[in-house]
Each structure stands twice: as structure tokens, then as C-alpha cells.
Amino acid sequence: MSQSDASGSQERFSGTVPRSVIAVDRAIGDLRRGQPVVLLGEVACAVARSTEFLGEGDFAAMTRVPGGALRIVITGQRARALGLETDQAVVVFRLSPDISPITVQALANPESGMPAPELHRTFAADDLATASVQLAKHANLTPAAVLKPLGLPPENAGEWAVERDLLTVQVRELERYGAEGDFNLRRVSSAHVPLAAAPDARIIAFRPVSGGTEQIAIVVGEPTPDNPVLVRLHSQCFTGDLLGSLRCDCGDQLRGALTTIAEAGNGVLVYLAQEGRGIGLVNKLRAYTLQDEGLDTYAANAVLGFDDDERHYRVAAEILRQLGVTRVRLLTNNPDKIAALTRFGIQVVERVRHRFEPTPENREYLEAKIRTGAHLP
């Protein structure tokens, strides 16, 4: 099972994977397969499962779990989209045993096409509720969960879970995962790959020791640490980078950055596996549907239950450090990238403007990034 009794010293990186990271990665995998997981808090525990895979039999099984009342956890953003006044990060509602799974899904996801039911009684959000939503976000699922408190102390829940072939994950492991999960990187491969915009380019692949998603750096020329290196942090965009979507400027930014770096003689483009400002491709497509109904990119994410921007940049700072880059000239219009790299020990000596002319298809998107995302003009 995935409970960890590792000491603080064992949790520090030493070339092996912290057991807390393994526990959370396994729980993410089970959640994405539609399986429930058992969350262990300090004083309580609960069974959690994603709302995305909730069928009649699954819901019935959750109602039979001995313990407290069945509940759904959604984010404060999603609750406000449903017309509820709240300033809480997560909101917890009691579910009637006779409610249908499709109605539960309507609470979590506007894509269901069903009107959300009227909600009344709420529970105070505890560490288990917060952890269930965070786990769903890590899994790139709808940020919501069905939660059933177990009528057991946490120290006894492991045996209960083993008997039912369920994984357990401790809330404190999940809290540490945000700081540890993808950031202990190994350089695993590199190759010279001539690009149209940058013939003298090498692609270097980094893999988290946890076994998570690979991250990529494109190194053009021979950057030296003696001078600030021209750097672009680019979050992957399948629709824009690969398909040439006109909804965004991502493809222009990617190819434009490579051209600018090549013209400068050298530099680094860090290609981050953080699709859709960190919500994943499936959720980005859901947001596109909401944008077609009149919402801007940030409002669409909020209706789905996400923050304006779910990305992190510690992994980018780690890649730059492994490349020997600690001082950068950053190609960006996003002040969050500047602040994040600075926070993680990379000195940003200059912000280099990186903007392209809007098109009729992406004009509103770009204006929203300035208006709501505080991007620099």
C-alpha cells in the first residue's frame, strides 16, 4: 500500500523517489482509471473518487461505505459559477442517496448538459475535501470529487483499504507533492535536431524520477553562463503549436521565440508540459466550448472550477539550473513567469517583449490576457 512512514531525512532527494511522491502518483493513476482512493488525514479519513467516472453502480457503492454522509466537493470558482456566494477555495455539499450520478456530474461540470440541482446544506471544508480536489487537478480531471467519510480512525483505514484493493494516500503526502512531484529531474536524452527557425538546435529531455511526464529544453547555439541567456518558457499547446489553431497565439510565440533566439546566436526554450495554462488538453477543449458561448479564456476556466492559471515554474527553474543557466533575459509578456523564476533562484536581468499582431480569431483572447491576466503590452 502507499502509506509512507518515511522520516524527514528519507524524504529529501538523494537520487531515489520519495515514497510520498510514489503514493500520490499511484493515486493519480487510479483516479484517472475511475477507481476510488482512500485519503488519510490527521484525524479522519475518506473514500474519494472523480465525478467524471461516476456510474450508477459506482455511486451505489459509495453510498454503502460505512461512515458519514455522502458529499461532493467542488472549487469555490465552480460554486460561484453555480450562483452561490462564497469566498472559500473549496465548497462541500451533502448528497442525497437518491440523487442520480448524472446530476452529480452536472454539479461538477457544465459539459454534462444537465441543470445543476438546488443546493442547500454545506459542510465545512477540511483537509480531506481540499486534498480530493487537489488530487483531481493533478490528474487533469474535472476539479471535483465525491467524498464519503469513513467511520474509522486513519490508523485503521489501511487495513480496510487493503481488503478492498484500494490505494491510500496521506493528505500530508499530497501537500508535499506540490513541492516534490515533478522537480527531481534527470537528464535522460539529447539530440541535434535542426529546426526551420534554428538549424543549430539540440533537444534535451528531462524525466522526473517519479516517472512523470518528460520535460523538454531546446538549446540553440552554445549559451554560456558568463552572460545572461536569452530564454523563453513556453507551455505546450497541442492545438496552437502542432495544429496551427487560430484561437491563440501559441504557435506564433513558439516559432517566433525560436527565431529570436537563433538571431541572437544562442539561447534556451524550455517547453513545459502544462497544456491549457495547466488544466490539461481535455479541460482546455471544454473551456473552448464555453468560450464559444461568450466567455473569455479566464471566465471559462473559472466555470470549470479552475484558477486563472494553474501552472507552476519551479520545474523550468530546475531545467535551467541543470543547463548551467542562472541569469536570463526572459522572452515574455507574463509577469508571473518573471516572479516565479526569481522566487526559484533564477535572476531575470531583462524582460524581452514577445508579442505578435492579433488576428480576428485571437484578438479577444489576447485582450483577456492583458485585462484579466495582467500580461504586459
**Domain-terminating residue out of 128, 153, 178:** 178
- Each residue's pLDDT, cut to its tens digit, for the chain (377 residues) gives 334 443 333 344 444 666 778 889 899 999 999 999 999 999 999 999 999 988 888 888 898 999 998 999 999 999 999 888 889 999 999 888 788 888 888 888 887 665 566 666 678 889 999 999 999 999 999 999 999 999 899 999 999 999 999 999 999 988 888 655 556 789 999 999 999 999 999 999 999 877 778 999 999 999 998 899 999 999 999 999 999 999 999 999 999 999 999 999 999 999 999 999 999 999 999 999 999 999 999 999 999 999 999 998 999 999 999 999 999 999 999 999 999 999 999 999 999 998 888 889 988 888 888 888 878 87
User: Coil, helix or strand for 29?
Assistant: helix
Report the distance separating Cα 231 and Cα 327, nearest Å.
9
Q: How many domains does the chain have?
A: 2
Query: Which of these is catalytic: 49, 176, 277, 311?
Result: 311
Q: Considering only CA atoms, which of 224, 218, 229, 230 is closest in space to residue 192?
A: 218
Examine residue 148 and state whether it is found in any structural domain, yes or no.
yes
Query: Is 249 labeled as catalytic in the residue annotation?
Result: no
Q: 12: domain CATH number?
A: 3.90.870.10
The pLDDT value recorded for residue 356 is: 86
- Report whether 351 contacts 339 (CB < 8 A): no
167, 238: one domain: no
Query: Which of these is catalytic: 26, 309, 314, 327?
Result: 309
Query: Is 311 labeled as catalytic in the residue annotation?
Result: yes
Report the distance separating Cα 80 and Cα 325, nearest Å.
42
Residue 19, domain extent: 8-178
Examine residue 293 and state whether it is found in any structural domain, yes or no.
no
133, 269: one domain: no
**Three cell numbers at 143?**
476539479
β-strands 122-123, 45-50 pairing: unpaired
150, 229: one domain: no
**Domain-terminating residue out of 178, 196, 225:** 178
**Domain-terminating residue out of 120, 143, 178:** 178
169, 213: one domain: no
